[in-house]
Amino acid sequence: MITLRSHLEGRWVEGASPQTLVNPATEEPLARAGSAGLGLAAALEFARRTGGPALRALTFAQRGHLLQAMADALQARRDELLDLAVRNGGNTRSDAKFDVDGATFTLSAYAELGQGLGEARFLVDGEGISLARSPRFHGQHLMVPRRGVAVHVNAFNFPAWGLAEKAAVALLAGVPVVSKPASSSAMVAHRIVEILIEKQVLPPGALSLLVGGPGELLDHLGPQDVVAFTGSSDTGARIRVLPQVIRNSVRVNVEADSLNAAVLGPDADPGSETYEFFLKDVVRDMTQKAGQKCTAIRRVTVPAAVADRVRDDLVDRLRTITVGNPAHEGVRMGPVATAGQLEDVRRGIDLLARDGRLVHGEAALRPVGVEPGRGFFVGPVLLEVEPGADAPSVHSHEVFGPVATVVPYSGGATEAAEIVARGRGGLVSSVYSEDAAFTSQVVMELAPFHGRIFLGSAKIAEMSPGPGTVLPLLVHGGPGRAGGGEELGGLRGLAFYLQRVALEGSRPTIEKIVKDGG
C-alpha cells in the first residue's frame, strides 16, 4: 500500500494519522494519507509569498501557456489517470473519462481565454468615466489579482475536474492555489499534482496539495485569501461561519447540494425525438458516476397524463444497466465512493420512500465481478409520487447516488415551475420541449432559482452532453440550497480572485496606468 504525501512549501511531506483509501468495488486497501502535524500556516504563507509574485509577474497570455502545459502534461498520462479513477473512484472507464477529460478540457478552455487577454496583467473593467464637466477628472475600474492564496476544498466525486476547474481560474487570475481533494478519492488528484511537479510545469508555490483531512488549513486565512469549497451544504455552512472568515472578510464560494429537475413539456409525446432525448438524459444522469454528480437529475417532472408511461420507459432502460466492478468489461455502473456514502444513499432512499412509491430498486442486485457482500453497491432506484402530493422529502433531501423520483404536474408551465422551485435553489434544471412558449414560460419562472437552465430540444440532441455536464464557458453554481456560489462562466470566473478597484483622478495618469498593464 502506498502512502500519499502532500506537496507544501515546494516539497513532498508526509502527514501523520493516515486514513486508508480503498477500491470501493472490492474494498481492497490502496493507499494511506494523513495531514496531522503538517505546517499548514507556513504552507499558505509560502504560496502567498512565492507562488503569488511568480504568477503576478506573468501576463494573462503567459499564465494561459501554463494552463495549456498542465493540460498537455495530464493528457500525456491520461491512461494512467483513468486507471486510477477506476480503482480509487469506482468509476467506469467512461465515468473516469468524464472526470479526467473534463479536467484537461477546462484547463485548455482557460488557456485559450488567457491568450485572448494577451499581454495584460490585470483586467480593465468597463469604459473610463468623466467625473466632472472637464474630461480631466476621470474614473476607471480595474480588477487586479488579490495578494493572498486560493484555498480549494473539493468533493470526492470529481477529483480531477474539481482540482482543475478551480485551479485553472485562480492561476489565470494570478492567484496561487492550495488544493485539498476529498480524502476518500484523493489518488487521482495526488497523481495529477505529482505529474505537474515532475514536469515542472508551474512556478514554485503556484499549486500546493494537501491530502488527508483539512486539519487547521482554514484557521490561517487572511484578508487577501479566498476559499472555494465544493461539498455538502453542512460543511459549506460550517466554513462560512469560521471566525477568521468573518473577521477577515475572506471571500468564500460554496458549491453544494442540488435537487436538479428535468421538466418534460406537454408537447413531447412518448416516442417523439424530444421524449427519447429526455429519457436518455435522465438515465445517463442517474447512472453516470453512480449518480454522484452534483448536477444529476433528481426530480423527473412530467405531465400527469404521461407519468405512468415515463415511469415504465425509465424502468425498462434502468433494467439494462449492468452494475458491478468497473474494471470488468460490460459494467455500466460502478459502486458509490465509500461505505458511509452507501449508508447515506440507503437512508435517503428510505426517506424518499415515505413520500413516494419505489418502482424500481435494488432488491435483486448482484454486482458482477466482485465477491458477494463486497463493495459499496447500490443499483439504480426510481420512485414516483402521486400528482399533487406534497412529498416534502423529495423536494428537500438530496440522495447522492443513482436515485430519482418521477413527480407529475397537471397545471401547465406555472405548476411545473412551482414544483421545481420547491427545491429552494439549484445548480441546473432542464426543460425538454419544442413548444417555444412553454419553454420560455418555464425558463423565466425557473431563472431566479438556478445557476443554469438546459433547454432540451431535438434540435440540439445530437451535439448535447446533457444538463449534467458543466461547461467552462457557462457559469456553474446556484442560489439557496446549491450554496449561492458561482464558478467558471469563462472570464466571469476570474472576478472571485480579483479585487475590483475604482481609480479616480487625472485622466492622463489613469490612462497611462491602464496602458502599461491593462
Residues that bind ligand NAP (CB under 6 A): 153-157, 180, 182-183, 213-214, 218, 230-232, 235, 238-239, 255-257, 294, 398, 400, 427, 482-483
Residue with cell 496561487: 176
- With CA atoms as reference, report the closest residue to 278 among 300, 307, 258, 308: 300
Helix, strand or coil, per DSSP, at residue 237: helix
Query: Which residue is at the shortest CB distance from ligand NAP?
Result: 231
* Separation between Cα atoms, residue 455 and residue 444, nearest integer Å: 12
- Least distance from C-beta 213 to ligand NAP, angstroms? 4
Q: Among residues 255 and 285, whose Cβ is nearest to ligand NAP?
A: 255
Is 294 part of the annotated catalytic residue set? Answer: yes
- Least distance from C-beta 255 to ligand NAP, angstroms? 3
Catalytic residue among 9, 165, 294, 362: 294
Q: Among residues 168 and 182, whose Cβ is nearest to ligand NAP?
A: 182
Give backbone dihedrals phi and psi of 472, rounded to 5 degrees, phi first.
-65, -25
Q: Among residues 256 and 300, whose Cβ is nearest to ligand NAP?
A: 256
How many other CB atoms sit within 10 Å of the CB of residue 509? 12
Catalytic residue among 9, 255, 362, 398: 255
Q: Among residues 239 and 370, whose Cβ is nearest to ligand NAP?
A: 239
- With CA atoms as reference, report the closest residue to 22 among 445, 370, 288: 370
Q: Among residues 328 and 422, whose Cβ is nearest to ligand NAP?
A: 422
Residue 432 in grid coordinates: 425538454
* Separation between Cα atoms, residue 409 and residue 384, nearest integer Å: 12
Q: List C-alpha distances in Å: 54 to 63, 174, 273, 411.
A: 10, 8, 53, 59
Q: Among residues 260 and 274, whose Cβ is nearest to ligand NAP?
A: 260
Residue 68 in grid coordinates: 495549456
Residue 517 in grid coordinates: 498593464
3-state secondary structure 396-465: CCCCCCCEEEEEEECCCHHHHHHHHHCCCCEEEEEEECCCHHHHHHHHHHHHHHEEEEEEECHHHHHHCC
Return the active site residues: 255, 294
